[in-house]
Structure 1
């Protein structure tokens, strides 16, 4: 089956590792998310139908793993090797979603990172790793990232990686309780024949 062919996968670059999200990550993942609640809240997706019960961690993992088996998503945890730590620590999450095969061969990418590690190049490197995997290994043609216009940190990520600005999408997604404008950025495989990661590492 196609889903079995594309997942699971682990990607590495130096001390940074993208690996599948797992049920046993619950305690550490919850600590990181709780510590970053105020930092992440303005960018969190919400339900336009009103207040609904939030999914549990295990429920989230089950949904993401099902999407991975169906070859519609790649749900990565971002981890980093840190001195004096016995194993890589969780520093964020990156999901390639809405994967379309056939004539589209496209996907959308989203992410979050621990505030304490922001600004160190973790997210651009992780995005470059995931995009290269999608282009060079899976054969996808287009990667899209949608960002709130006021999210300056994320705007810097796509600027650093050379994603093309495709314009404003008014009231595109329901974020933090309201319909919010987003700017769409994209790359196609022809624009980065040698990979996004190589270009980023050479010019960072």
Structure 2
């Protein structure tokens, strides 16, 4: 991953929204078999600005040669309290595939999740036949915990998914402080 670096996305940045919009337009056809149907606004800077501001956290893989986003990892569904968990989803531009980009993104998020997000665990799911993503998850310490029938509506139909998790640490959650 020498020619790609990972950085956190800025939810308020118009530049990040435009970079992400350009990337999702570029990989739209490639990702179709793994994605839900998207409204056309999703592929615009405005749509990506709304997505960046939705409460999830995102990390970009950026090509150092031209500054293009070549991969994205999102942690969504963040729940704190005694659960302290988030769901991971990611994609990599096929032009950047095979260079460890997804693995680098996921390793960085596994490092950052306890410190920056206060998480104890991360979960992920893959379509049953997405072996490349399953290899990335295994390389990053995720274990398969089950299979969910008709789990997500992907590319026009309800699809079965394998479920994975990685426990990041066993420290107890912080004790809530009483309101003053």
Gaps of 5+ in 1: 1-12, 68-72, 192-204
Give the SS at the match of 2:128: coil
Give the SS at the match of 2:81: coil
Moved more, 31-40 or 147-156: 31-40
Within the candidate set 169, 172, 176, 2:151 is matched to: 172
> 2:101 aligns to what?
122
- Judged with a 3 Å threshold, the aligned counterparts in structure 2 of structure 1 residues 66 and 43 are, in CA distance, closer, same or farther, namely closer
1:89 shift after superposition: 2.5
Are 1:80 and 2:63 matched, yes or no? yes
Are 1:35 and 2:26 matched, yes or no? yes
> 2:48 aligns to what?
60
Within the candidate set 71, 76, 83, 1:97 is matched to: 76
Q: Scaled by the length of structure 2, what TM-score is found?
A: 0.80
Structure 1 segments (4+ residues) deviating >6 Å: none
CA distance in structure 1 between the aligned counterparts of 2:97 and 2:34, rounded to whole angstroms:
15
Give the SS at the match of 1:32: helix
CA distance in structure 2 between the aligned counterparts of 1:171 and 1:110, rounded to whole angstroms:
18
1:33 shift after superposition: 2.8
Moved more, 97-106 or 56-65: 56-65
- Judged with a 3 Å threshold, the aligned counterparts in structure 2 of structure 1 residues 115 and 53 are, in CA distance, closer, same or farther, namely closer
Within the candidate set 151, 154, 157, 2:136 is matched to: 157
- Judged with a 3 Å threshold, the aligned counterparts in structure 2 of structure 1 residues 124 and 60 are, in CA distance, closer, same or farther, namely same
Q: CA RMSD in A?
A: 2.4
> 2:7 aligns to what?
18
CA distance in structure 2 between the aligned counterparts of 1:125 and 1:44, rounded to whole angstroms:
22
Q: Scaled by the length of structure 1, what TM-score is found?
A: 0.72
CA distance in structure 1 between the aligned counterparts of 2:98 and 2:45, rounded to whole angstroms:
27
Check conservation: 1:105, 1:142, Cα contact below 8 A: yes
Give the SS at the match of 1:36: helix
Give the SS at the match of 1:190: coil
- Judged with a 3 Å threshold, the aligned counterparts in structure 2 of structure 1 residues 28 and 101 are, in CA distance, closer, same or farther, namely closer
Give the SS at the match of 2:129: coil
> 1:46 aligns to what?
37
